[in-house]
Amino acid sequence: MIKSMTAYGRGEVESLGQKWVVELRSLNHRFLELSLNLPKRLWGLEDQVRKLIKSRINRGRVEMQLTWESLGEKSLTLRLDHSLAREVREVLTDLQVAGEIHEPLRLDHFLRFADLLVTKEAENLEMEDAWEPISRAISQALDVLEGMRLTEGEALAADLAGHLDAVRRGSAKIAPQAALLPELWREKVSARLAEVLQEAGPVDESRLAQEVALMAERRDLSEELARLESHVAQFQQALDSDGPVGRKMEFLLQEMLREANTIGSKAQDLLISQGVLEIKGTLERLREQVQNIK
């Protein structure tokens, strides 16, 4: 069963006196693109996070947000980084001198440097210890996200199947008229040539018949209709299969559109042209939806 690329998942794990929360959002994208929002002190885990997500997802833009909060009596314990505070003061003083700024330093100038105040929990947190609950929260979020992708994919598959039936009906509508084209063109060309050659004297009837047959053959659409039906059948197989099929579907839609354009240009027939326009409109709707398939 196909899967949608648009979904949301949330995972929550309590460990080490903390509640770890991971939120995942996936959107349409031709390839896999990860956007991770990790706290600065956990940036060292980014590679492990990427590997875990890539082991489960291979296409789409995935955004991840990691947050945590203390489960202890104090929700936040702050500590001043004295060493960094002195460095900040030196830099601000040098800036005053260089810029000939006479404004005195105030507390709000220092508070612009967020790392001056750190939480006790964050300060003592070891990345190795944090990875275990974080990885579990990510796995939970991935489970939920994958479930939503599957549910959305089922609804999408039903809609795609309806459009695919419309392409079949359009092809079936064209087929009877296409079967008549060679003979219609043979009669049309024969009549036209008879008028043109009427005053030119005797003509080679055998050569004339060959030319008429050749021009009529050029209007034969049986091969294009057969290829279109083959592409429709392959698309249906992809729709019923498991695993990533989005790119294959995109390719098949391009081939269907190619055949539809060829049919329209070769036929030069009003009824067939109308049928081709209907098919192309349906293919465009299919293309828009396939972009959301994993």
Read off the CATH number of the domain in which 62 is found: 3.30.230
Query: What string of DSSP letters covers 37-102?
Result: E--GGGGGGHHHHHHHHHTT--SEEEEEEEEEEE-SS-S--EEE-HHHHHHHHHHHHHHHHHTT--
Residues 61 and 188 grouped into a single domain: no
Residues 42 and 62 grouped into a single domain: yes
For residue 284, what pLDDT is reported?
A: 94
For residue 48, what pLDDT is reported?
A: 95
Task: Find the domain containing 44 and state its range.
Answer: 7-75+124-147
For residue 204, what pLDDT is reported?
A: 60
Residues 220 and 272 grouped into a single domain: yes
Residues 248 and 170 grouped into a single domain: yes
- What pTM, to 2 d.p., does this model score? 0.66
For CA atoms 33, 39, 41, 42, give the dihedral sign.
negative
In a domain, residue 2? The reply is: no
Residues 46 and 88 grouped into a single domain: no
Residues 56 and 160 grouped into a single domain: no
Residues 56 and 156 grouped into a single domain: no
Instruction: Tell me the mean pLDDT per 10 residues along the chain, length 294.
Output: 88 88 91 89 90 91 89 60 82 84 80 63 63 94 94 89 93 88 72 64 62 69 91 92 85 94 87 92 92 82
In a domain, residue 1? The reply is: no
Residues 161 and 231 grouped into a single domain: yes
Residues 179 and 210 grouped into a single domain: yes
In a domain, residue 86? The reply is: yes
For residue 269, what pLDDT is reported?
A: 83
Residues 11 and 141 grouped into a single domain: yes
